[in-house]
Structure 1
Amino acid sequence: MAGPNKSFNKKPDVIVNNRATWIRKLEEFLRRLEIDGTHSFLRIPKHRFQGAEKNKQVQMLKALLDTLMKQAQVPTERNLHCPFHDDRHPSMTMRNHVLHCFSCHEPGETRDLFDFVKLFFGAKSFAEQKLKAIELLVEDGANIARTMRVNTKATPSSKNTVSNMKRPASASRSFSALNSPYYRRAWNDEDSRNYLIQRGISAGSAAQYNLKCWEYKGTKYLVIPCDSSDFIVRRNMFDSKKEKFWLMRGVPVSLFNSNRLQINESCLFVVESALDAITLEQIGYPAIALNGTKLYGKLLEKSNVIRSNGLYPILLMDNDAAGKDSGRKLLEQLRAKGIRGYLHEYSDAGIGKFLNSTKDVNESYQLDPDETTNSVQEIFQIASELSHIQPANPVHPVTTTFSNPLLKFGIADMRIEFPKQK
């Protein structure tokens, strides 16, 4: 990514054109966000922001300028009066999240979100501008920015933080507590770090979900702790001659990230793989993983919790025969327990079509993060609307086979407020 806009090093621009009334609307809206932390503006989800690299965080913040302008009722579809010179004929235009004035700006010179944070709040350095933008535009942004200000000490290098990982002489000895010397933090091992980067999993997610690296007889495994302390997923990262997963005999499989069931999320994704769930969490959507197509009984055991918390499961199983079959069966059994849910069917006529070309969400994310995010958002928004609707035939399963599933209820044009993401 290119460095900060060159205007960061200038003195703050002075507003000289009273015809540019839009800039006061934008300032007023941002100040309302500063005062009212509970404003309905859809902020960047906390997990998604913290799981992104620094450059990606800057891009995410800058991309919100379009939305802020619309929320402030600024008509960005046409040219605007430039506030920085006596612009009598609108000559400022918005494109790709930045503003450029064809009259007073040099070629390539633009104004972006951070310029306006600088102008309205007096944030002189780029670091101050970013922190202020985080406070305004990210969920729990005040605490995130406060932590970033306090945490000024340099992060220890991986050379100093890597523990000496012992190689177990036998498999039985290796299946021990995750804090034993047989395990290493995944991001501190070069091989597993490269594997996670390839899969689109960030350092923040690796730390949040306590991902570890484990090696046995020359084969390295990514270790993913699950809900039961006795069950962890060991995923073979590189050796194609050996099984993809190595699970300990006699230890029952448990769900991954099922603490999401304890929160009134309204809608949450249910997927097969823990890496799929982590990917969805990074994008900004709550998700749990079954850890296998035939293990949905573990979710059915939580039916009382799902009902009491008013949850609406979105079943996004793998794009293969086994995944599609288990998704239909799980939806039917949830319905039999009085739980309404939503099944994504991979169809060229349906929504989320970018997911059709790959086996699962994580593979799609590796191919194109932005297209994957757009497809997931489409599925989540349709499911969110359907979760507010009581179908005429409650036994009939809801799927995404329709290009717009709302057509099933004859209300495709109905506007329903989406629930705020946690």
Structure 2
Amino acid sequence: MSSGHAAYHHATTGMFHRRSGGEKERSHLGGPEAWTIWLLATIFVVWLFAIQTGYGIVSPDIQHDANLTLTQVSLAASIYTWAFALVQFFSGSLLDRYGTRPLMAIAVALVTAGAFLYAGTTSFTTLVLAQIVLAVGSSFGFVGAGYIGGKWFDGAKYGLMFGLVQMFASLGSAVSQPAISAMLKHMSWEQLLAGFGAFGVLLTIAFVLVVRNPVATPEEAAAVKAAHEGKNVFVEIFHDLGACFGNRQVVLSALFAGASFGTMLAVGVLWGPRVQEARGATAGFAATLSALAWLGLAFGAPLVNVVSDRWHSRKWPAVVGILLQAVAVALFIYGPANGVGASAVVMLAVGLFAGTHMLGFTIAGESVTPAMIGSASAIVNGICFIIGGVLEAVPGKLLPASPDLADYRSALWIMPVVLVAGAVCALLIKEPRTETTPTGS
């Protein structure tokens, strides 16, 4: 760690408890203000996840009303994930440098604007523009909530707080998918998406009024300024990203996490409802089955860190979890064409074992200096969405205009293959040497 980064980390991690004569009380780890800010950040993630995962439900209506092809719809979904991933690489470092205020409020405003653009989709160009604006704002959501958990709560709970954010986001997705399907019976998709935008306006106001960075003493503020004075922000960002990409553990953890969550994203956002409808399910029941996958992820995300701590291992829970996910995804694609109970169990398992991807954040965070945790987390999350984009776009290119179940089975073989490759990456990971308290303590 450079002296500048060391000073910055000391300043940002030490700004929670101190008082100086005549000054107001400093921010407290885990206090009411910390929980309020974390809750707002989690609501942001739940809201944007609902918009993301709702794409699989509203995309057939958008496809019909805007005269689009299935290839264009899947390409638009992949453009979102790639734009998200590109900006994601910078968002973590920007949060490390500037904190949550005003970046998080700007991010919420961008997602709000994207939702209104989404509601006004009349062509492929409009849809792509909406996806890009949504992606730029959303790139600060999950990593931003994790950053808040790391700055406003005890560092030993970093992995657990990250897992809780994913849990609530997945629970929100599990509820929102069938809810969106039901609401579309009573309103148009344009009205539904405009409603998401209206909620975003209120959330933006809340972020502007409430969310701030922990209070620093004058000495701490001076240390932060000295750490960055005369330095170009982009040079620092690329330096941090280069250091993280040069770390073997970070790269391997990003690849296995990307295989795990990328597959979950492709199933939960796009292909899950389509495949279930090809099996003969109604649109409403297909949405419910996809919601079960997100429900499974809600339990799997915090559970995997608990299992990892109990096993005293990061590597082997990752290997076993991603292989079990490969089995579940293979059953989702190639399992029996009927059977309500079996489909429900399989979709639940797909999400449950996808929780394995959270170990990627834990391993990456334990493999870098504290000043680079934001950058390492952003790399992991960015790779997750790059692989998700590939798994959305490639099958779309292989499918005919009106695919049946056999066509989906011929195109989606790439997903279990990617998961097996992810398991190999997890197998190559070395057990991180850490002196920190287990994340589940």
TM-score class, shorter-chain normalisation, is: under 0.3
- The structure in which a higher percent of residues are strand is 1
- The structure in which a higher percent of residues are helix is 2
Higher relative contact order (CA 8 A, sep 6+): 2
- Please report the TM-score for the alignment, with normalisation by the length of structure 1: 0.26
Q: Which has the larger radius of gyration?
A: 1
- Please report the TM-score for the alignment, with normalisation by the length of structure 2: 0.25
